[in-house]
Amino acid sequence: MRFEVVKTVFLKELREMLRDRRSLVVMFGLPLLLYPLLAIGITGMGLKRQKELREQPARVFLEHADAAPRLRELIGQKESGLELETAAPSDPDAELRAGKLDAVLHVPLLAEQRALAGEDVEIRLQLNRSRTEAKFVEDKVRKTISDYERWLIEQRLQRLGVPATVLKPLKTETDDVATSDQRFGKVLAAALPVILLMTGMLGALFPALNATTTERELGTLETLLVTPVGRTELLVAKGSLVLLCGLLTAGLNMLSMALVLLRSVSLASQGTESLRISVGALSLAFLAAVPAIIFFSALVLIAGLLARNFREANSFATPCMLVPMAAMAVGFMEPPLSAGLLVTPVVSTTLIIREVMTAHVSVRAFVLAFVSSCVYAGLMLSLAGRLFSSEQLVNPAWEPISMKGLRRATARGVRRLPAVDSALTLFAVSLLLLFYVSPSWPVLWSHVDPNADRHKLLVTLFGNELLLILAPALFFAWLARWRWAQTFSWRPTRLGVLGGAALVGIGLAPWINLLSGLQQMFWPRDPESARMEAELMVPALAQHPVLVIVTVGLLAGICEELFYRGPLQTAFLRRLPPWGAIVITALLFAGIHLDLHGMALRALLGMFLGWIVWRSASIFPAMLAHGLYDSTALALAAWTIRRHGAERVMTETSIPSFHLTASDAAQLIAGALLLAAGWYFCRKSLRPGPQDIAAEPHAALAAPPAVAD
Amino acid sequence: MIRVHQLSKIYEDPDGGEIAAVQDASFCCNAGEIYGLLGPNGAGKTTTLRCLATILTPTSGSATIAGHDLLRDPEAVRRSIGFLSANSGLYARLTPRETLEFFAALQGLRGERLHARVEHVLKLFDITSYADRPNDRLSTGMKQRVSLARAVVHDPPVLMLDEPTTGLDPVVSRTVEEAVLELARAGKCVLFSTHLLPQAEELCTRIGVIGGGRLLGEGSIAQLCARTGADNLREAFFSLVGEVPRAV
C-alpha cells in the first residue's frame, strides 16, 4: 500500500466532494441548521399543544348525578379540570365519537348512599381513546374518581370512629441518586444510537455512491483502473472519505441533537430538572459507534458497487437504511445486557451507548461490544474489497444482483442451473411460508383430528418439511427448468463417504449439546421460547420416542438438505468461492429456524453439511449426517426424559444452568471417537484421484460470473 | 511493443455453459504503428483490449506490452499504456488541468516534472484556453481532447483506444483521428479498435479482423484483400466474418 497514492486519490475525492453542494448540505447544513430548527419547532409546538390539552377542561356527563352528590361537587370544582355537562346526551356513544363530549360517567342509582353503607359500587367510565385528548381526559377523570373514593373511605372510617390518618401509615420521600448528566444521559440514550447510526449512514451514502456507481456510470472508474494504482489503494482512499463523511455527519448530528434535546427538556421541565451534558460520555458513545459507522459505510459502498446506475443504487440503499432502525427497536425494548447481545451487530452498539450515557458501562462490556462491532465492520469491509477487486467492476452488463435467473428457461428444452436471484427468491418464499403458515398446521389439523394437540409436533413437522420446504424447492426446479441432478447433487457417492458422514452426524450431537450448554452460561436463552419448544418436543418424545426420532431424522435430513445444499448452495457456488457459498448457505440454513440463540451452532452444522456436499458432489452424505444428527440429539433428549421424567425436563429447560455428569462425559468421549472415525473415512474416501470425475461439475460451478462483451 | 499469443477469455453462461468472448487471439503491434482491431459489435474487441489493459484477467494465453508480461507484471503494463474508450468519462467537478495533474500523479509523476508534463500536454492538445474551466462545462469535442490528453499525460509508449469516436460528430471524430495519427507519427504503438470500415482503412497500418471472439485474419489492407480475393477492405471484411455485404 503506497500512502502517497492513497493520499492523491483521497484528496481528489475530497476536492470533488467539497465542490458538491448536495453532500455539504447533507453533512453540515442538515445537522447544524435544519435539524435543530425542526426539533425546536416540533418540540415547541408539542409543548404548546400539551399545555392546551392540560388546561382545557374536559366535558363530562354524570349519569344519575343525584345519586353521587359529592362526586358531582368534585367534578364541579375548578381544580378538577373537568366541566360538568348538565344536558343528558341522546346518544352518549355518538357524542363521544363526535367529540361533543369527552367522557361519560355511569353511576348507578343510590350509588353514594350504598357506598357509604359499605356496599361495592361500580362506576363505569366511557371515553374515546382514539382522540388525542383522551389521555388527558382520562387522567383528570381518574384523579377525581380517586379523590371521591378517598372521601368515601374517610366517611366510612368516621362512622366506625377511626381517624382518617390510618390511611397514611407511611410518609415516602424519593431521593434520586442519579447525577444531572446521568439523568440527561438516560434521556439521550433512547435516541442517540439511532441518530448516530442513521446519520452516519446518511452522511456516508452520497460519497459512497459518488465513489462507486457514479464513477462507473461516468466511465471514470475504468480510467482509474488502468493506472498503476492498486485496487486496494483505491478502495482505501475512497472508503476513507466515505467513512470521514459518515463520522463527521454522525458527530455533528450527535452534538446538535444533544444540545437541542437539552434545550427541549429544560423547556419542558421549566427549570425544575437539573440536566447536564457529559462531554466524556458523549465522546465515549461516539467512539462506540465508530465501528458500526464503518460497517454502514462499507454497506453503502457495497450497495454502490452492486448497482448498475444511480437509481438502482438508491433502491439498494433504501433497505440498508432500515438496518440502523434496529437500534430504535432495541432502544424501546431496553433489554438487559448479556454477552450474546453484546456480540449482536447494531444491538451491541445501541446497548453500549445506553450504558455509556447512563454511566453504567463496564470496561469488559465496552470492549466486548467494540471488538465484536470491529469484527463485523472488518467482514463488511472485506466484502466491499472483494467486490471492488472483481474484474467485472467496469462491465456495464455486470449484474451481481440479477433478476434474470427468475425467468423461465427458454422453450428450446435447455435446462439450466439455479442462479443466485432465483435461489434467494426460493428462500424468501419458504421463509414467508414458514412464518405465516407454520403456526397454522395444528389448527388446520384439528378440523381432521379432534386430538390434534397430541400430535402437534408431527403435524407441524410434516407440514413444514414437506409442504413449506421441499415442495417449493421442487416447484421452483420444475418452473425454472433446473437441471435436476446437478441442482440437487443427486448423484451416488462412495460408501466410505456415506459411512464417514453418518459417524460425524452421530458424533456431533453430544458435542453440539455441550456447546449449547456452554452458550447458555453466558447467553441464557429466552425462557419463554425455551418453554414453548419444550412444550412441543417433550410430550411428543415422552409419548412416541421412536416415531419422533425416526420421523424428524428422515424428514429434516431429506427435505432440508434438498433445499439448502440443493438449489441454494448450487447457486452460490456458481458466483462465490466454495467457502463463501458454504458459509452463506449455512447462515441461511441457521437463519430460517428463526432462533437467534441456536444460530451459531446450526451454522456450524450447516458448514459441515455444505462442505461434504461440495467435496463429494453428492447430497446423500449430507442427508445421512443431518438426519442422524437430529435423531441422535432427540434420542439423547428422550433418554434424559426417560431418566428424569418429562416434568423435570420441562422445568429445567428454561433454567440457564450447565452441569457435566458422568453420562455426559461418556457421551462426549463416544462422540469424539465417532467424529474422529467419521472424519478419517470422509477424508480418505474424498481424497482426489484420477477417477474423481464426480467432483468436476462443482468445480466448474465456481467459475467467474457472466459478462457480455 | 504489443505481443499477444493465443489470448482467450471465457465467461460462464448464465444457463450453465461457457461463452468464449475471445479465443486464441495472437497478433503484434510495433512502435509507430496503428493496429486496427476491426469487428462487429460483440466480436470481442473490448474484451481483448480490457485484457491487455489488465482490467480483465485472460483465461489463457499470454501477452507482453512494452516488454512487460501481462500476468506477471500488470502494474508495469499499466504504467506503459494510455487507455481510452468510448465510455471513458471525466470528473465533472474537476478542471482539465486538475484532471491531468491527478492522473499524472497516479502515474508516479511528481513536482516540477508533473507540472511541466501537464503544461506540455495542455499545449499539445490545445486545451490551455479552457484548462481551468470545470469539465462539465466543456463541449463534447473539448472533453474528448481532455480524455486523449489524460491518456497520454504520462507519455506512455503504448496507446489502447477502444472505439474512441463512437457517438462523436464527424468534426470531433476528425480531431481524434488526427491526434491518433500524430501520436503514431511520434512513435507510439497504437492499438485501435473500431467497427467503422472507412476509419480503419484511413488510420490503420495493419488490421486484425475479429468476429465471434476469434481473430479471423490480419495484415495490411492489401494482404487481407489478397488473402480473401476481395477488391477492397469492405469485401475482405465480410468475406472473413462470413456475411454477404448488403447492397446500398
Distance (Å) from the C-alpha of residue B97 to the closest C-alpha of chain A? Answer: 13
CB contact A22 to B (< 8 Å): no
Distance (Å) from the C-alpha of residue A426 to the closest C-alpha of chain B? Answer: 18
Check whether A621 has a pLDDT greater than 90.
yes
Predicted TM-score of the model (pTM): 0.72
Question: Which residue from B minimizes the CA distance to A486?
Answer: B16
Check whether A352 has a pLDDT greater than 60.
yes
Q: Looking at residue A482, what DSSP letter applies?
A: B
Distance (Å) from the C-alpha of residue A568 to the closest C-alpha of chain B? Answer: 15
CB contact under 8 A, B106 and A5: yes
CB contact under 8 A, B41 and A404: no
Question: Which of A138-147, A201-210, A229-238, A266-275 has the least mean pLDDT?
Answer: A266-275
Residues of B in contact with A483 (CB under 8 A): 16
CB contact A697 to B (< 8 Å): no
pLDDT value at position A696?
A: 43
pLDDT value at position B115?
A: 92
Instruction: Report residue B246's pLDDT band, with 50, 70 and 90 as the boundaries.
Output: very low
pLDDT value at position A119?
A: 87
Nearest to A227 among B41, B87, B107 (CB): B107
Check whether A695 has a pLDDT greater than 70.
no
Instruction: Report residue B126's pLDDT band, with 50, 70 and 90 as the boundaries.
Output: confident
Question: Which residue from A minimizes the CA distance to B44?
Answer: A709
Long-range Cβ contacts of A427-433 (<8 Å, 24+ apart)? A427/A568, A427/A588, A427/A592, A429/A472, A429/A476, A430/A468, A430/A469, A430/A472, A430/A473, A430/A563, A430/A592, A431/A592, A433/A467, A433/A468, A433/A472
pLDDT digits (tens, 9 = 90+) for B36-78: 999 888 888 889 999 999 988 899 999 999 999 999 999 999 9
CB contact under 8 A, A222 and B55: yes
pLDDT above 70 covers a percentage of chain A that reads: 89
pLDDT digits (tens, 9 = 90+) for A657-678: 567 778 888 889 999 999 999 9
Check whether B151 has a pLDDT greater than 50.
yes
Q: Could you tell me where the beta strands, DSSP code E, fall in A90-148?
A: 103-106, 124-127
pLDDT digits (tens, 9 = 90+) for A356-372: 888 888 888 899 999 99
Instruction: Report residue A705's pLDDT band, with 50, 70 and 90 as the boundaries.
Output: very low
Question: Which residue from A minimizes the CA distance to B156?
Answer: A227
pLDDT value at position A690?
A: 43
Residues of A in contact with B107 (CB under 8 A): 227-228
Q: What is the 3-state secondary structure (H, E, C) of chain B?
A: CEEEEEEEEEEECCCCCEEEEEEEEEEEECCCCEEEEECCCCCCHHHHHHHHCCCCCCCEEEEEECCEECCCCHHHHHHHEEEEECCCCCCCCCCHHHHHHHHHHHCCCCHHHHHHHHHHHHHHCCCHHHCCCCHHHCCHHHHHHHHHHHHHCCCCCEEEEECCCCCCCHHHHHHHHHHHHHHHHCCCEEEEEECCHHHHHHHCCEEEEEECCEEEEEECHHHHHHHHCCCCHHHHHHHHHCCCCCCC
Residue A173 CB neighbour total at 10 angstroms: 4
CB contact under 8 A, A227 and B103: yes
| Residue from A4, A9, A11, A12 to probe the interface with B (highest B Cβ count within 10 Å) | A12
Furthest-apart CA atoms within chain A: distance in Å: 106
pLDDT value at position A700?
A: 42
Long-range Cβ contacts of A603-608 (<8 Å, 24+ apart)? A604/A512, A604/A515, A605/A508, A605/A512, A605/A629, A606/A564, A607/A582, A607/A583, A608/A504, A608/A508
Instruction: Report residue A698's pLDDT band, with 50, 70 and 90 as the boundaries.
Output: very low
Instruction: Report residue A475's pLDDT band, with 50, 70 and 90 as the boundaries.
Output: very high
Q: Cβ distance B186 to B123 under 8 Å?
A: no
Residues of A in contact with B43 (CB under 8 A): 709
Check whether A319 has a pLDDT greater than 90.
no
Distance (Å) from the C-alpha of residue A99 to the closest C-alpha of chain B? Answer: 59
Residues of B in contact with A391 (CB under 8 A): 55-57
pLDDT value at position A412?
A: 57
Q: What's the CA gap between B190 and B2, in Å, rounded? A: 9
Q: What is the mean pLDDT of residues A554-579?
A: 91
Residues of B in contact with A419 (CB under 8 A): 14
Q: Which residues pair with B208 in a beta bridge?
A: B37, B218
pLDDT value at position A187?
A: 76
pLDDT value at position A331?
A: 73
Distance (Å) from the C-alpha of residue A295 to the closest C-alpha of chain B? Answer: 28
Distance (Å) from the C-alpha of residue A218 to the closest C-alpha of chain B? Answer: 5
Check whether B92 has a pLDDT greater than 80.
yes
| Residue from B60, B91, B94, B98 to probe the interface with A (highest A Cβ count within 10 Å) | B91
**Per CB distance under 8 Å, which residues of B are interface residues toward A?**
11-16, 18-19, 21, 41-47, 50, 53-57, 75-76, 78-79, 81, 83, 85, 87-94, 98, 102-103, 105-108, 150
Cβ-proximal residues to A315 (8 Å cutoff; 6+ apart), any chain: A307
Furthest-apart CA atoms within chain B: distance in Å: 58
Q: Cβ distance A83 to A126 under 8 Å?
A: no
Residues of B in contact with A576 (CB under 8 A): none
Q: Cβ distance A566 to A472 under 8 Å?
A: no
Strands of the sheet with A124-127, listed across from one edge: A82-85, A58-63, A103-106, A124-127
pLDDT value at position A472?
A: 94
| Residue from B8, B9, B10, B12 to probe the interface with A (highest A Cβ count within 10 Å) | B12
pLDDT value at position B15?
A: 58
Nearest to A16 among B94, B108, B150 (CB): B94
CB contact A228 to B (< 8 Å): yes
CB contact under 8 A, A220 and B47: no
Q: How many CB pairs under 8 A join A and B?
A: 103
Q: What is the mean pLDDT of residues A101-105?
A: 92
Distance (Å) from the C-alpha of residue A601 to the closest C-alpha of chain B? Answer: 33
More confident residue, A541 or A241: A241
Residue B210's region, left for phi above 0, alpha for psi from -120 to 50, else beta, is: beta
Residues of B in contact with A705 (CB under 8 A): 11-12
Query: Rg of chain B's alpha carbons, rounded to an integer?
Result: 18
CB contact under 8 A, B11 and A404: no
More confident residue, A443 or B122: B122
Q: What's the CA gap between B101 and A553, in Å, rounded? A: 67
Phi, psi of B65 (to 5 degrees): -120, 120
Nearest to B15 among A16, A223, A409 (CB): A409
Q: What is the mean pLDDT of residues A644-659?
A: 62
pLDDT value at position B106?
A: 92
Nearest to A226 among B12, B45, B55 (CB): B55
Residues of B in contact with A405 (CB under 8 A): 14
Q: Residue A52: is it exposed, middle or buried by C-beta count within 10 angstroms (0-12/13-18/19+)?
A: exposed
Cβ-proximal residues to A263 (8 Å cutoff; 6+ apart), any chain: A40
Q: What is the mean pLDDT of residues B126-152?
A: 89
Nearest to B13 among A9, A405, A706 (CB): A706
CB contact under 8 A, A223 and B88: yes
Question: Which residue from B minimizes the CA distance to A698?
Answer: B16
pLDDT above 90 covers a percentage of chain A that reads: 28
Residues of B in contact with A416 (CB under 8 A): 14-16
Nearest to B57 among A224, A228, A391 (CB): A391
pLDDT value at position A706?
A: 35
Residues of A in contact with B85 (CB under 8 A): 219, 222
Q: What is the mean pLDDT of residues A73-85?
A: 90
Q: What is the mean pLDDT of residues A261-289?
A: 77
Distance (Å) from the C-alpha of residue B231 to the closest C-alpha of chain A? Answer: 31
Residues of A in contact with B46 (CB under 8 A): 709
Residue B67 CB neighbour total at 10 angstroms: 12
Question: Which residue from A minimizes the CA distance to B75?
Answer: A228
Nearest to A223 among B42, B45, B150 (CB): B150
Check whether A23 has a pLDDT greater than 80.
no
| Residue from A13, A223, A416 to probe the interface with B (highest B Cβ count within 10 Å) | A223
Residues of A in contact with B150 (CB under 8 A): 223
Scanning A447-486 for CB atoms below 8 A from B yields 483, 486
CB contact under 8 A, B42 and A708: yes
pLDDT digits (tens, 9 = 90+) for B186-223: 889 999 999 888 888 888 999 999 988 888 888 888 89
Residues of B in contact with A486 (CB under 8 A): 16
